[in-house]
Amino acid sequence: MDIAFLLNGETVRLTDPEPTQTLLDWLRNDRGLIGTKEGCNEGDCGACSVVVTDKNQTAALNACILFLPQIDGKAIRTVEGISAPDGTPHPVQKAMIDLHGSQCGFCTPGFIASMAAAHQNGRSDHDDQLAGNLCRCTGYAPIIKAAELAEAAPKADWLEKTPFVLPKIATEIQAQPAPEGPVYIPQTGDELAEFYADNPDATLIAGATDIGLWVTKQLRALPKIAFLNQISDLAEISETDDAFRFGAMVSIEQLRTTLTSHAPSFAQMLRRFASAQVRASATIGGNIANGSPIGDTPPALIALDATLHLRKSDVRRDLPLEDYFVDYGKQDIQPGEFVEGVSIPKRAHSLSVHKLSKRFDQDISAVLGAFNIIVENDKVSSARIAFGGMAGIPKRASAVEAALTNRVWNTETVAGAIEAFGQDFAPLSDMRASADYRLEAAQNMLWRVWHEDQGTATSVLEVTA
Amino acid sequence: MSVHKSLAHDSGPLHVTGQARYVDDIPTPTGTLHLAFGVSSVASARIQSVDLSAVQAAEGVVAVLTAEDLPFANDVSPSIHDEPLLATGEVHYLGQPIFLVVATSHLAARKAARLGQISYETREPILTVEAAMTANSRFEDGPRIWQSGDALGEFSSCPNRITGQLDVGGQEHFYLEGQASLAMPQENGDVLVHASTQHPTEIQHKVAEALGLPMHGVRVETRRMGGGFGGKESQGNALAVACAVVAIQTGKPCKMRYDRDDDMMITGKRHDIRVSYDVGFDDTGRVRAIEFKHYMRCGWAQDLSLPVADRAMLHADNAYDLPNIRIESHRLKTNHQSATAFRGFGGPQGMIGIERVMDHIAHKLGMDPLAVRRANYYDEADSLSEPTGSAAETSHQKLNKTPYGMKVTDFVLGRLTQELEASSDYHARRAAIADWNDSNPVLKRGISLTPVKFGISFTLTHLNQAGALVHVYQDGSVMLNHGGTEMGQGLFQKVAQVAASVFGIGVDQIKITATDTAKVPNTSATAASSGADLNGMAVRVACEKLRARIATHLAEKHSCEASAVEFSDGNVIAGSHRVSFAEAASAAYQARVSLSATGFYKTPDLQWDRIAGKGRPFYYFAYGGSVTEVVIDTLTGENRILRADILHDAGKSLNPVLDIGQIEGGYVQGAGWVTTEELVWDDTGNLRTHAPSTYKIPACSDRPDVFKVALFENENRENTIHRSKAVGEPPFMLGISALMAISDAISACGDVYPSIDGPATPERVLAAVNRVRNGV
């Protein structure tokens, strides 16, 4: 396997790179580019952020959980390549110096990468764009001021989308039938289906925001891998009269953008899904397929009655998403079968999604509740409610739904439904929250939905001093 | 004069381009070896057997060391030799290093370190305050007890009395750069160590002990750290010693850096504390008698826990005159990571206890907590020389003496609070918040103003010294070196400003160089906020020596008084002769004048008896105040800081922008301590929050939406460097107002006092809301 990419404007070709070597390790150890830092080695601190441009987007990504084959055909800018070719600082670099945005400086290269990507994309939602970059020294105020100051400066033309004329060495090689090797980079869904049916023991890597940690933290060896990032037909978003369909490789960021008008509460919650870096890498397919009980998209998708599309070889099947999650660590999926996509019906809904975590941004949910309660003529005509963090799987609150459905939408009904939570859930205690708190907070989320409906202020995120 | 100017951090241009080098960035020769520890998987046990055959056989492994392989001292403790580098027969916490892997790469070392087969005869670990108290598991032979007046005798005559308890969790430093060391073997068995450390001399000392070398055989260099916060005062010893020992044994350079999870599992954190209080007070809220009991879980080794716990006691008064006080402090030995220095060094833990008491008294009396605080403030420094007040006041005349007997002569919080009340519009906002809460059933807001008075000096008096080395080259460029380390705080720039001021030149003519034990010996840790105070003075002394030599030479040459020679704007003026500083340096060189000098400084007037708890441990106090406004969700306990207004006393600031950077960062870090940052150990002693995925330091959006920070107009009454004040630690404690504001918001839910513990996670806030609503 050969790969090729642009690094700070220069073409780099690698023959048979170690498939699970991270871009960060390669930059620092092999290439001697030590400006990019390792802060946590799990994609949570952003010190390793680099700017990655491909034909779809320019984004900051965490180099510590990005495997080399994933950057094939892309353009990478590290902190060493952000200044203009003549050495003139990028506007965000100048602003960070002038406004005292660095103290110890260790997080700074990652901030510069994130800020440069945001600047290039014309973004001014700095808290969102920088939620994935931790700083322990400054308290962030000067960094945000720097990002604001740089807004007015024109985009850096040297960072403009690089024309993708890279030799696709990998493609040529992979076009040969060679899926026996340890690494396979399919170009189409059909190729993946054929390969995976024959190699059900392979690890499928989409965005690597979870599997990256298998390698960097669990130090697992992955003997057989398929990288899915070049499969463009799995990255499509299509819209019919009845539904939105998202290919498994659609990123969380694309999902968020697409859902802004159809399911604004879902999209708003996705703003708090990890960080900009992770949302640009992580995929909707990955968030579902790994079966985590605390993934943030499944409860909302279940509340919207989403359909999961699975494929094994040439056989496709659909099932309601909620049925995919069988038990902790167990999903309704066959060896060699993979998630091809998910569809959200275009029905009227009232989805209201509530994420609860110790920190607002870039935290894993202690509880995530998704409520789709439709009230017609003061009566609950339908209720689809699902939770994450309350069971071993993302799970519907069937008893709660039953306690609401066909009843008058009033406090008595809500109070009755609160009682039903105990039938649906017996959550666990862990470092994120105790079982009792999870249950009470989940119940109170229903009260919050009620209060919201009555026009009462319920979100601390919307209060200003 | 370059002092008092807002010059940017000297390394800013390097930071933003990725050129600033940290230990892991230093180019290493081919053949450099990489180290990792194999650690204990249980919290308390006797080791029955250790089978390292799989470790040795793993790919890339060059050697594996256990305690028996260490040639000399097996100890990395900064205090009482109770901290073996590698465990000897017993393990005392989950994460304790047992063996050391030497491999050809960092990854190979990490992989191999997990392959050790160790069998343990486990014991019941001592993990809780209760368990430690029952087992009398502690450092020192009993609690430290300090008293002033007669608290226990006075309680009966107090019209009001409350008791309570506050638990506040520890805190992970989360310096962005993890611990790292690189050792390069030198000729003759000597070693050069590059360490990410606040204390190069301590590293030198421990490495010398481990190698059986005199200290002159070990040179330690530190250019910068990627954050320290106290976590690199003693916690880097293990890596440096490990690297040095293996470097000497193999003759190869050795590097060790902790992966983030390893860092959090192995190294110490801020001490958590339980403060119980019993307080008697009058109807105006004035405290008449108070008793505190401090319980601090110190972990398995002593490390710096005694001075940390002392400093908690030393800040039990914070800003308040407490006439009758008894403080009992228990330093508990538990099977956790050994708790260590962290910004504030026990001060925050002591201070938050009395701030809770002020809040609780106000609640009991139905007063604004600020009024209670003001009623108990020490008297303003400016008022001390005035005649005593009217007869009505004399019944509760303030002693203006701390519980440890030090006169408070520089108190400025009266004026500072007044200015802050006005600039933050505290009273009007407090009233508006009450109205808002009346019409909002789900969300509640709260506001609090808390003060900070923080004692400046190492309480171990001999540490209050510093040295400097300054060279003037014949071209007029200056090389500056001192014992302080740069961890991001801007110390190097501040000290360069001091030097530039003496010579009347720009800071661009001064080269700031890495801290180096071969240039300045016997340095103290850059800790206790002392960096600029101590090193700035030492550098000034050295520069003044050189300036005097140059002046004497020019005075002789031009027949004028040496004292009349002026150094300003890059020029030296002797009588009617004006030359550039470079020409003056060149002339002095040619006249065979020594252009190299050392400087030395020791803080005057300190004396301290830590057993009796009496004396003057501090040269002066730094002050500050913050007003925090929060909103909480009474359904989930979620909470946010909406606004913070800060007024902080940095004396006559050496560099206002750098000081404001310390204040903003300190506040956010302090607010993190009391809100989102929660360390969770399970009941086997396993730290479950060992990575940023589970341990949540403040992120960008957690800073206050409205964040107003200003420096208080003041100058140090003591003769510090250009009358400035230390600023590293004091602002951390401004964050306490966030917890008190949350408490205020919860109070809007009912009549019961919330008694909220820290950190105020959503779960704790909801529990407190329920208590208040249910009246329990």
Query: How do the domains of chain A map onto residue ranges?
Result: 1-173, 175-231, 232-345, 351-453
| B619-661 pLDDT, tens digit each | 999 999 999 999 999 999 999 999 999 999 999 999 999 999 9
Query: B572 Cβ partners below 8 Å, 6+ apart?
Result: B504, B550, B551, B554, B565, B566, B578, B579, B580, B581, B583, B584
CA distance A77 to chain B (A): 12
| B483-513 pLDDT, tens digit each | 999 999 999 999 999 999 999 999 999 998 9
* Interchain CB contact of A292 with B (< 8 Å): no
Answer yes or no: is pLDDT of A166 > 60.
no
CA distance A125 to chain B (A): 11
Sheet with A183-184: strands ordered across: A183-184, A225-227, A203-205
CA distance A111 to chain B (A): 9
- According to CATH, the topology of domain A232-345 is 3.30.465
> Exactly one of B83, B172, B291, B729 is catalytic; which is it?
B729
Best interface-test mutation with A: which of B701, B705, B727 has the largest number of A CBs within 10 A? B701
* Interchain CB contact of B471 with A (< 8 Å): no
| Cβ pair A283, A206 in contact under 8 A | yes
A210: closest CA among A65, A361, A18? A65
Answer yes or no: is pLDDT of A447 > 80.
yes
Cis peptide bond prior to B759, omega within 30° of 0: yes
Please give the average per-residue pLDDT across B344-353, as a whole number: 98
Residue A164 confidence (pLDDT): 56
Query: A407 Cβ partners below 8 Å, 6+ apart?
Result: A379, A380, A413, A416
Q: How confident is the model at residue A160 (pLDDT cuts 50, 70, 90)?
A: confident
Q: How confident is the model at residue A282 (pLDDT cuts 50, 70, 90)?
A: very high
**Average pLDDT over all residues of chain A:** 95
Spell out which residues of chain A touch residue B229, defining contact as CB-CB under 8 Å: 136
* Interchain CB contact of A105 with B (< 8 Å): yes
Determine, for residues A136 and B22 on separate chains, whether the beta-carbon distance falls below 8 Å. Answer: no
Name the percent of chain A in helix, strand, coil, to the closest 5: 35, 20, 45
Residue B333 confidence (pLDDT): 98
| Cβ pair B433, B726 in contact under 8 A | no
Q: How confident is the model at residue A177 (pLDDT cuts 50, 70, 90)?
A: very low
Domain A1-173 of CATH type 3.10.20.30: yes
| B277-321 pLDDT, tens digit each | 999 999 999 999 999 999 999 999 999 999 999 999 999 999 999
Among 3.90.1150.10, 3.10.20.90, 3.30.390.50, 3.30.1390.10, what is the CATH number of A351-453?
3.30.390.50
Answer yes or no: is pLDDT of B210 > 50.
yes
Residue A168 confidence (pLDDT): 52
B369: closest CA among B417, B323, B436? B417
CA distance B705 to chain A (A): 8
Q: What gap in Å lies between CA A303 and CA A318, rounded to an integer?
A: 17
Residue B599 confidence (pLDDT): 98
* Interchain CB contact of A442 with B (< 8 Å): no
Determine, for residues B635 and A458 on separate chains, whether the beta-carbon distance falls below 8 Å. Answer: yes
CATH class of A175-231: alpha beta
Residue B18 confidence (pLDDT): 98
Around Cβ B119, how many Cβ atoms within 10 Å? Answer: 11
Give me B24's structure tokens: 């892991």
Q: How confident is the model at residue B397 (pLDDT cuts 50, 70, 90)?
A: confident
| Cβ pair A205, A246 in contact under 8 A | no
| A8-29 pLDDT, tens digit each | 999 999 999 999 999 999 999 9
Q: What gap in Å lies between CA B52 and CA B491, rounded to an integer?
A: 45
Determine, for residues B176 and A44 on separate chains, whether the beta-carbon distance falls below 8 Å. Answer: no
pTM greater than 0.95: yes
Q: What gap in Å lies between CA B75 and CA B269, rounded to an integer?
A: 19
Interface of A with B in 325-344 (CB under 8 A): none
Residue A1 confidence (pLDDT): 81
Residue A56 confidence (pLDDT): 84
Q: How confident is the model at residue A180 (pLDDT cuts 50, 70, 90)?
A: low
Q: How confident is the model at residue A2 (pLDDT cuts 50, 70, 90)?
A: confident
Answer yes or no: is pLDDT of B392 > 80.
no
Active site residue B729: yes
* Interchain CB contact of B664 with A (< 8 Å): yes
Q: What gap in Å lies between CA B59 and CA B557, rounded to an integer?
A: 71
Nearest to B661 among A103, A445, A461 (CB): A103
Answer yes or no: is pLDDT of B375 > 80.
yes
* Interchain CB contact of B19 with A (< 8 Å): yes
Q: How confident is the model at residue B769 (pLDDT cuts 50, 70, 90)?
A: very high
Residue B387 confidence (pLDDT): 53
CA distance A333 to chain B (A): 28
Going by their DSSP bridges, the two strands A225-227 and A203-205 should be labelled as parallel
Establish how many alpha carbons lie within 13 A of residue A85's alpha carbon, considering only the half-sphere containing its beta carbon.
Answer: 6
Determine, for residues B664 and A457 on separate chains, whether the beta-carbon distance falls below 8 Å. Answer: no
Residue B396 confidence (pLDDT): 62
| B521-561 pLDDT, tens digit each | 999 999 999 999 999 999 999 999 999 999 999 999 999 99
Determine, for residues B636 and A445 on separate chains, whether the beta-carbon distance falls below 8 Å. Answer: yes
Please give the average per-residue pLDDT across A307-315, as a whole number: 98
Determine, for residues A434 and B763 on separate chains, whether the beta-carbon distance falls below 8 Å. Answer: yes
Answer yes or no: is pLDDT of B189 > 80.
yes
**Average pLDDT over all residues of chain B:** 97
| Cβ pair A26, A69 in contact under 8 A | no
**Prediction ipTM score:** 0.97
Interface of B with A in 271-300 (CB under 8 A): none
- Dihedral sign of CA atoms B58, B63, B69, B73 in order: negative
Around Cβ B574, how many Cβ atoms within 10 Å? Answer: 23
Answer yes or no: is pLDDT of A178 > 90.
no
| B445-487 pLDDT, tens digit each | 999 999 999 999 999 999 999 999 999 999 999 999 999 999 9
Answer yes or no: is pLDDT of A70 > 70.
yes
Residue A161 confidence (pLDDT): 61
Phi and psi torsions of B195, nearest 5°: -130, 145
Please identify which residue in the block is written with the tokens 């890059």: B570
Best interface-test mutation with A: which of B700, B705, B727, B729 has the largest number of A CBs within 10 A? B700
User: ∠ CA A192-A195-A200 to the nearest 5 degrees?
Assistant: 105
